[in-house]
Structure 1
Amino acid sequence: MPGLMRITSRDAFAEVLAEARARTRAYEPARWPLLRQIEDQLEFMAGATARGRVPHPDDRGRTGLGPLGVREFADTDPEYADWLGELDYTFARYDVLAPGPARRRRGILQVWSGREGFRKLVLVPGVARTVGTAEADFVVHGDRAGSPQFSVVWDGVCAHVQAIDPHRISVGGEPCWTGELANRGWMQAGRTTYRFLVEDFTQPPAPPNPGEAALRALAQLQGLRDAGTLYAIVDAARADRPLELVEESVDPYASLYDGEQGRAHDDVAPYLVRLGRGSGLLERLVGEGWGEAWGVFVVSGAEFEVVRRQLRRFLMIDLEGEAHRVFFRFYDPRVLQTVAPVLTADQRGDFLRHLEAVLYETPRALARLDHA
């Protein structure tokens, strides 16, 4: 059921289910056997999803409201027919529905293998895009002799992928012509692996409760983000949550580590993220992570790869008294609190080449390392 949908979360499912049950009762199902069948199926759905339950896979395949709605109500009550169709579709996929209230989330198809790893194709609900090695909306590992390999459309619940002849794809390791991807699903086309994510899908372990220092810092950072000059460096070694937030965002990002050896350390790597105005990632990083040393912020008008190359120069440094180069965790605000006051003018200038400033949290405020 590609296209725009009203049911994009479990709360929305419960809301539409309640409305459909009320409409069914208004039709007086006792007088019409078909409506009694619909009423029974709606009651079954309500019981299977009550009190936060996720229906068993066998139960999710037991309803048939979609065909009933289209056949009997498409002309006389199209709204009711749409409700029944969406309920049928989303009940079968209830386990992949986003928790919480309805939101028009975007889908994210991410390149996961090869030299273009971490690139993202942002999907708007209901808009089909083509992906391939040439002549596609999203060209990956471009090849003059290439062609579009598959199409993808995100409906707010699942991404629907379809191979473009003569290509084949695999979804979750299974060869196919068509398939579906839910949050953190994966697929392959040609020699490239992709994974699919849903914007802001995973809820925080506890409701964010930022303090005054965090709110002041956020106000400063929002202005820089809206001006298009704000990056974040997020430290995946600190916790699972910061990288989860980055992955489930539409913002472009990449590890500061390179090559296959770098990919082996994805779970502990520092990641550069360019924060965009249309994303809520900044608010989530500050709201959930202030005081947890999740990373630092970089102010620069330079392009992503220029900033990334500059920062990679300082992943390892020479340290007096050490025989070998050592890791420099400049993206840890606790390290910067110690290092920033003792940098010489030359060291500061070298570190900040192509950068306007690095901003980092302290117990009371957002501190700034700049050229002054």
Structure 2
Amino acid sequence: MSFALAISGGPHLGASLLPAEGLTKFGRSRGADFLLPADRFLSPVHFSIQRQGDEFRILDAGSRNGTQVNGVNLDEAKALAEGDRIFAGRSIFQVLRASPTPPLAPGLVPLAKQPAAHAADLAAIAKRACLVLETEPGNLFAILDAARDAAVVDLLEASRAQWRSLYEGERAAELRVVAPYLVSLTSDPAMLEKVIRFGWGRGLAVFISTGVPFEQLRSHLRQLLIATTPAGEKRVFRFYDPRVLPVYLKASSPMELSKFFGSIVAFLMEDESPEFLVSFRRGAEGLKREVAELKEDGDT
């Protein structure tokens, strides 16, 4: 029996294809035989399918975010059967019995037919970061660190977005030019692009996806501002620093993660290189880290 892959979730929803005899590589850029360029959580080559007659075997290609079949991480080659579901990046593939001529959706084309990407600078990379963040469900917020650039305050004051310092009262006034500020990116549709253009690559923003409203989120974040050291001392915790947060999350226990996340779905930020966007979520097996590549082939 011959199988086809139908994309049942993700940016290329609705596409379907029939893997050719031999090895077919799937990914988002050069090196892949079939491209899914809109899914930035895919690696350049994410997984491959080896076809021998009517037998199909799938193997992860050392991807950053991993490949799952029916919810189980793929650690070695696995034979595919009708009804299997493949999870890679933000895309979901359904294994179906093949029709004689499965369609190939626009935007999912062999590499030889894919136009070369235009050279791009940090501004283009930041624009792609904006596109990834726009796909987050629920309400999107950012914590902006005025201690990294006092112009954060000017940016907020000139906006129509809902925003407020994480400090209260006199403390908020005293630390006005160095405080962390919570801003709703849902309340002003133009604000996300402004924040990205202003701060991407400068380590001054952490983005948050959640289902709760502004004040409820702010109340939770305020509880995280002060941490107690092993010696019992109270210290300001700069969890909103994209250099600090990943280190803390990776070192936290499941109980600590549950308390820290609260109703937060995901923390998102630039990686050590601004060419990558990293997100942290709570998964069934603990902390789940995903990386989205923002640089295209041909970028300078």
Q: TM-score, length-normalised on structure 2?
A: 0.50
Opposite residue 276 of structure 2, the aligned amino acid is A
Instruction: Give the direction of change, closer, same or farther, for the CA distance of 1:278–1:311 in structure 2 (3 Å limit).
Output: closer
State the Cα deviation string for residues 102-128 of structure 1 (Å, max 9, x = none): xxxxxxxxxxxxxxxxxxxxxxxxxxx
Structure 1 residue 280: Cα displacement: 1.8
Opposite residue 336 of structure 1, the aligned amino acid is L
Structure 1 residue 314: Cα displacement: 0.7
Task: Classify the secondary structure of the residue corresponding to 2:206.
Answer: strand
Say which structure, 1 or 2, has more relative contact order (CA 8 Å, 6+ apart).
2
State the Cα deviation string for residues 284-311 of structure 1 (Å, max 9, x = none): 2112211111120011110111100100
1:215 aligns with 2:124: no
Task: Classify the secondary structure of the residue corresponding to 1:298.
Answer: strand
Correspondences of 1:106-255 after superposition (within 5 Å): 210-211=122-123, 213-224=125-136, 229-255=139-165
Q: In the alignment, which of 277, 285, 288 is matched to residue 366 of structure 1?
A: 277
Task: Classify the secondary structure of the residue corresponding to 1:273.
Answer: strand
1:302 aligns with 2:212: yes
Structure 1 residue 216: Cα displacement: 2.7
Structure 1 residue 214: Cα displacement: 2.3
Contact 2:141 2:184 in 1 (8 A): yes
CA distance in 1, matches of 2:152, 2:159: 11
Instruction: Give the direction of change, closer, same or farther, for the CA distance of 1:336–1:258 in structure 2 (3 Å limit).
Output: same
The aligned residue for residue 280 of structure 1 is 190
The aligned residue for residue 291 of structure 1 is 201
The aligned residue for residue 261 of structure 2 is 352
Instruction: Give the direction of change, closer, same or farther, for the CA distance of 1:312–1:277 in structure 2 (3 Å limit).
Output: closer
- For structure 2, list consecutive stretches of 5 or more residues without a partner in the other structure: 1-120, 284-300
State the Cα deviation string for residues 183-211 of structure 1 (Å, max 9, x = none): xxxxxxxxxxxxxxxxxxxxxxxxxx634
CA distance in 1, matches of 2:210, 2:267: 9
Structure 1 residue 337: Cα displacement: 2.9
CA distance in 2, matches of 1:217, 1:274: 17
CA distance in 1, matches of 2:153, 2:122: 19
Structure 1 residue 215: Cα displacement: 2.9
Contact 1:234 1:243 in 2 (8 A): no
The aligned residue for residue 235 of structure 2 is 326
Structure 1 residue 223: Cα displacement: 2.8
Contact 1:306 1:354 in 2 (8 A): no
Task: Classify the secondary structure of the residue corresponding to 2:182.
Answer: strand
Instruction: Give the direction of change, closer, same or farther, for the CA distance of 1:299–1:347 in structure 2 (3 Å limit).
Output: same
Opposite residue 337 of structure 1, the aligned amino acid is P
Instruction: Give the direction of change, closer, same or farther, for the CA distance of 1:287–1:235 in structure 2 (3 Å limit).
Output: same
Contact 2:161 2:187 in 1 (8 A): no
Contact 1:250 1:279 in 2 (8 A): no
CA distance in 2, matches of 1:324, 1:307: 26
State the Cα deviation string for residues 302-355 of structure 1 (Å, max 9, x = none): 0111100100011011122x3411111011101113222212111111111011
Higher helix share: 1
CA distance in 2, matches of 1:350, 1:252: 25
What root-mean-square deviation, in Å, do the aligned CA atoms of Structure 1 and Structure 2 show? 2.0
CA distance in 2, matches of 1:277, 1:259: 24
Opposite residue 273 of structure 1, the aligned amino acid is V
Higher strand share: 2
Instruction: Give the direction of change, closer, same or farther, for the CA distance of 1:315–1:277 in structure 2 (3 Å limit).
Output: closer
Structure 1 residue 212: Cα displacement: 5.0
The aligned residue for residue 121 of structure 1 is none
Instruction: Give the direction of change, closer, same or farther, for the CA distance of 1:305–1:277 in structure 2 (3 Å limit).
Output: closer
Please say which of residues 229-238 and 360-369 is displaced more in the overlay: 360-369
Contact 1:359 1:367 in 2 (8 A): yes
Contact 1:230 1:297 in 2 (8 A): yes
- For structure 1, list consecutive stretches of 5 or more residues without a partner in the other structure: 1-208
Structure 1 residue 220: Cα displacement: 1.1
CA distance in 1, matches of 2:175, 2:190: 27
Structure 1 residue 270: Cα displacement: 0.6
CA distance in 2, matches of 1:279, 1:356: 20
Contact 1:229 1:299 in 2 (8 A): yes
1:336 aligns with 2:245: yes
